[in-house]
Amino acid sequence: MRASTLKPHSTLTRPASVALGVSVLWFSLLVLLPLALVVVASAEDGWAVFWGTLTNTQTANAIQLTLTAAAAATAVNMVIGTLIAWVLVRDRFPGKRLVELLIDIPFALPSLVAGLVLLSLYGPNSPLGINVLGTPYSVFLAVLFVTLPFVVRTVEPVLIELDTDVEQAAESLGASRVTTFRRVVLPALTPAIAAGATLSFARGVGEFGALTLLTGNRPNVSEGAPIRIQSYLETDNTAAAAAVAVFLLLVALTAIGVFDVLSRKVTRHAD
């Protein structure tokens, strides 16, 4: 009965073959080939240049800052995003539809504009007296802003589908609300949170637009890796730019892999 017990075999009909062909071609032209070319470019001047680029102090600092900021923002998103999704799905309050729409603003806004918006509240003329310009926190803030919707949007549909019966069953068995959330709700949400976190992290590593305005790009302090790539390109150092790009790509792929394994582990046998 179960698919996993059957031997894998091709289910391709003629129209399905055509569809697969189109998909692969499309994916190749847009993603695989350009990526392959970047990898080739990074190796063009040899391993020494590749390694030399990554160990350059300024570059290494930029990469470290970007990865730290993306990881920190992702960690925050996993908690806050789940909380926002919970509020939007489970609670009824005036203005809910509006919040629902506003959540997507970081998606809809060109990230350069996002930088401008953040600068007005957290820049030198901040009405709150908080100025992040030129500090490492600016990178964190920029990434936090542009990645906000990911976890919310991946967790929401799962939460809508999640039967409240299951929580009530746990409570009737004596579980407190906290225990119910930890032992019953969270495992069900884990794959969605992991998916959102993956997207959030990948987007955070690649964020450029918001950084250009908000961070001030001070070398070794508030300069992110994508900005570093840009300055390599401006000086016609394609191989170095490609080396940083390939490294970020590898980290992003690793993150995707890790989150995938994690969520599979939790949901091994669940529906």
Site of interaction with another protein (CB under 8 A): 2, 163, 165-166, 168-176, 179, 183-184, 187-188, 266-267, 269-271
In angstroms, give the least distance from the CB of 220 to another protein.
45
CB-wise, 163 or 236, nearer to another protein?
A: 163
CB-wise, 45 or 171, nearer to another protein?
A: 171
CB-wise, 185 or 202, nearer to another protein?
A: 185
What is the spatial distance between Cα 15 and Cα 1, in angstroms, rounded to a whole number? 26
Q: Say how many Å lie between the first and final Cα of the chain, rounded.
A: 15
In angstroms, give the least distance from the CB of 255 to another protein.
23
Q: How many CB atoms lie within 10 A of CB 14?
A: 7
What is the spatial distance between Cα 119 and Cα 213, in angstroms, rounded to a whole number? 8
Q: Which residue has the tokens 């993306």?
A: 70
3-state percent helix, strand, coil for the chain, nearest multiple of 5: 75, 0, 25
Closest CA to 263 of 179, 199, 204, 203: 199
In angstroms, give the least distance from the CB of 197 to another protein.
19
CB-wise, 183 or 218, nearer to another protein?
A: 183
CB-wise, 236 or 271, nearer to another protein?
A: 271
Distance of CA 97 to the CA centre of its chain: 25
What is the spatial distance between Cα 61 and Cα 73, in angstroms, rounded to a whole number? 18
CA angle 98, 103, 105 (to 5 degrees): 100
Burial environment of residue 23 by CB neighbours within 10 A (0 to 12, 13 to 18, 19 or more): exposed
Q: Which residues contact 227 (CB under 8 A, 6 or more apart)?
A: 62, 208, 211, 212, 215, 217
CB-wise, 80 or 175, nearer to another protein?
A: 175
In angstroms, give the least distance from the CB of 3 to another protein.
12
In angstroms, give the least distance from the CB of 10 to another protein.
26
In angstroms, give the least distance from the CB of 186 to another protein.
10
CB-wise, 181 or 208, nearer to another protein?
A: 181
What is the spatial distance between Cα 229 and Cα 227, in angstroms, rounded to a whole number? 5
In angstroms, give the least distance from the CB of 176 to another protein.
6
